[in-house]
Chains A and B, each alone.
Chain A
Amino acid sequence: MKFKQLSLFLENQPAHLKQPCQILADAGINIRTLSLADADQFGILRLIVADWERAKRVLEEAGCAVRVDDVVGLEVPDERGGMAHVLSVLERGGHNVLYTYAFTFGTASRAVLFMRFEDPDAAIDTLQGGGITVLEPTRWLAVSG
């Protein structure tokens, strides 16, 4: 039930974000979603792609250092209180969200959230127990690919 998220270290300079994106484009790999955490001198690019192993390989062959982490993907209604509800379920289970990023899909009134936890398996149990739809990576990446 967990997604593999790739993280890359980037220097905070013009064109440095484009380079890994171009490498993936040249390899025919679509970036499904991303987030960028930025500090003064550098940023960390986090990517969700369908074929993470191949993406990691082509990025490493191009000289990038790539880290892989498990993240949890979930779906909530795209409406007022959707996010707050998820967070209150997590709060009851005592889970700390290390970071999250969210996006909506087309016209469907659903939003997708990716979340990183210290213990993703326990968080998945809590979320499912609270009636929240946790995304199954293979199916989700195939359907929305």
Chain B
Amino acid sequence: MDPLISIQPSEPAAVYRPGDRFECEYQIDAVEATEVQAVEASLLWYTEGKGEDDMGVHFFQRRTSYDAEDHDLRALHRFKTDMPRSPLSYDGLLFRIRWCVRVRVFLRRGRSLVAEQPIQLGPRLTHLNPEPAATAESTGA
């Protein structure tokens, strides 16, 4: 059975505004303490859609067993940061910009597990064109 990762932002349903204080806690269950070698928590944006995926990390924290009390990385851990001013969440025609909290757990023997909790930065912005025209061009490589 895979370990369970729970992520709980302080206001999971809320829309965060740029500059807002963001607090989040996470916990790991269903795994032995000695199995967990490191945990990485990130607050990041990424794009998804027709183009190649891009990603930007706003907050990043890596903890190993030496950083944790009793060398146990499973315990509830909280982090906080200020939300950035951009990019805002966006639903476009060709791509979307998403924000999420991502927790990555590194286990023994090179295994790793990822859990995500989506959040929203800014109002829900979409494209404003009801009938968009597409133009495509290609450059050989």
B and A form one assembly: no
- Which A residues contact B (CB, under 8 angstroms)? none
- Which B residues contact A (CB, under 8 angstroms)? none
